[in-house]
A and B are shown apart, each in its own frame.
Chain A
């Protein structure tokens, strides 16, 4: 039954070789492999989490963007409407202003024309008066130098105009 007895020499070799390998692998083998794999696992799960969060954030941003766009569109429409109204108002106001102005100008012009007309009429009257006075003066000067004819004329005038005063 030699088969079932351990050999001291082989036991020693086995102990030496196995312990050397065990110590080397325990120091420089397994911890590196396990550490790296665990580190990578942690990194991967962290990255997945981060990606998930980023996706969520992205979805939020997308929604915000949509909202902002919708708001901007509404604002645009509102502003356009307002400006349309404003434009119409301004044009209306301008028209009224212009009309008023025109009316004022026309009224002024009429007043001036009337005034000038009146002035012109007054001047003409004055001139007519001066002219008639002048003529009358000249006539009077000439008529008065000739007494007989004066008398005849007066006679004649009297005769033509006032026949009842015939002397």
Chain B
């Protein structure tokens, strides 16, 4: 009985919570001049990159952290650096002039360069400048990097000062995290002699991915940047793994690629070497896509569940929207918990496969 009461109170509370957005929608119906809810822009706007860090909106006025835009125009006007405030707040059809060049951001549902900064060419077409803006994801990367340094360096400093001192609780945490990865992922895959050489890269990769994933799940500033769900980030991680596998690979590894133990007609006409060379590229490629797709999918599912509230509300009215929001909230809680698991699993998988590939390239055959 007590449980039933508890649950019904919780249910009522959640239902009350949903009244706020549904009332907002009721107003929307009265004001037809407001644009319709666009699920695609909503979802990809939140999972993709952005020139400003949108925090919230107060009275329809966006509260943002304006990040710098850094671009190099192709028409010869050179480098441009300005606050994203100028381009984010433009209305449709307006452009921002900076040192003779006109810029604006394509809408998120545009066909070409969606959500990207473009410059208006002299012949009234648009082109994309070379863009190294410090975007929301760049901010997210630096936040994770700063966190990693702030979390691990003080412990390292303490260890350097007195390695024999009784470790503090904080050091115990650092030790536990480090040795979970070191003993659980790295040591089983890499020959013992080479562990010291490759552990720093693998540990950094693991904690970078893990904390990026976790930060991506926290839905408010300064977190929430979808770092590991962006191909640009995973491509760098995959390239670094490719680098560590192939640059430090020993002669047996290269012999297995270029002259594998197969009948001579398979390697004289270099079929097997070509396949093996391609496989060295497909391995990190799979790493890149796996991490990116898993994290992006998780974020998209959560955003879709949120968007569903507004879609259903728009289609069947505020009442159904309220009902949907209750369903959505429970589903989102479930997804969040699942994403916590995925955050660890994906970091684990990326690191264990990286160490497996690196370890295979270090393997010394025992016979011969």
Contact = CB atoms under 8 A, between A and B. Distances in A.
Interface of A: 2-15, 17-18, 20-22, 24-26, 28-37, 39-40, 43
Main secondary structure of the interface of B (DSSP, over half): helix
Given A13-B142, A18-B145, A28-B153, 6 more contacts: A2-B116, A11-B232, A14-B236, A21-B149, A25-B149, A25-B153
Contacts of A12: 132
24 contacts: A6-B235, A7-B230, A8-B131, A8-B132, A9-B133, A9-B135, A10-B49, A10-B232, A13-B134, A13-B138, A14-B236, A15-B236, A17-B145, A18-B208, A20-B145, A24-B149, A24-B153, A25-B204, A26-B201, A29-B152, A30-B200, A33-B152, A34-B196, A37-B179
A45 to B, nearest CB: 14
Contact of A43 (B164, B175, B230, B233): B164
Given A8-B130, A11-B232, A21 B137 contact: no
A5 B292 CA distance: 12
A10 B51 CA distance: 11
Interface of B: 44, 48-49, 70, 113-116, 130-135, 137-138, 141-142, 145, 148-149, 152-153, 155-157, 159-160, 163-164, 174-175, 178-179, 182, 196, 199-201, 203-204, 208, 230-233, 235-237, 240, 296
B149 A31 contact: no
A14 B232 contact: yes
Contacts of A30: 152, 156, 178, 199-200, 203-204
Give the most central of A10, A24, A29, A32: most B CB within 10 Å: A10
A2 B201 CA distance: 30
B232 A6 contact: yes
Contact of A14 (B174, B175, B233, B296): B233
A10 B233 contact: yes
Nearest to B240: A18
Contacts of B152: 25, 29-30, 33
A35 to B, nearest CB: 7
A12 B236 CA distance: 9
Contact of B236 (A3, A11, A20, A39): A11
Nearest to A32: B156
A13 B145 CA distance: 11
A39 B135 contact: no
Contacts of A5: 231
A17 B141 contact: yes
B203 to A, nearest CB: 5
Nearest to B163: A36
Given A6-B235, A28-B156, A33-B155, A21 B148 contact: yes
Nearest to B166: A40
Give the most central of B148, B155, B157: most A CB within 10 Å: B148
B208 A7 contact: no
Task: Give the 3 A-B CB pairs with smallest separation, nearest first.
Answer: A36-B159, A26-B200, A10-B232
B116 to A, nearest CB: 8
Contacts of A11: 232, 235-236
Contacts of A6: 231-232, 235
Contact of A33 (B49, B174, B232): B174
Given A30-B178, A33-B174, A13 B163 contact: no
B200 A33 contact: no
Given A2-B114, A18-B208, A21-B204, A34 B199 contact: yes
B178 A33 contact: yes
Contacts of A25: 148-149, 152-153, 200, 203-204
Contacts of B201: 22, 26
Contacts of A35: 159, 163
Contacts of A37: 159, 175, 178-179
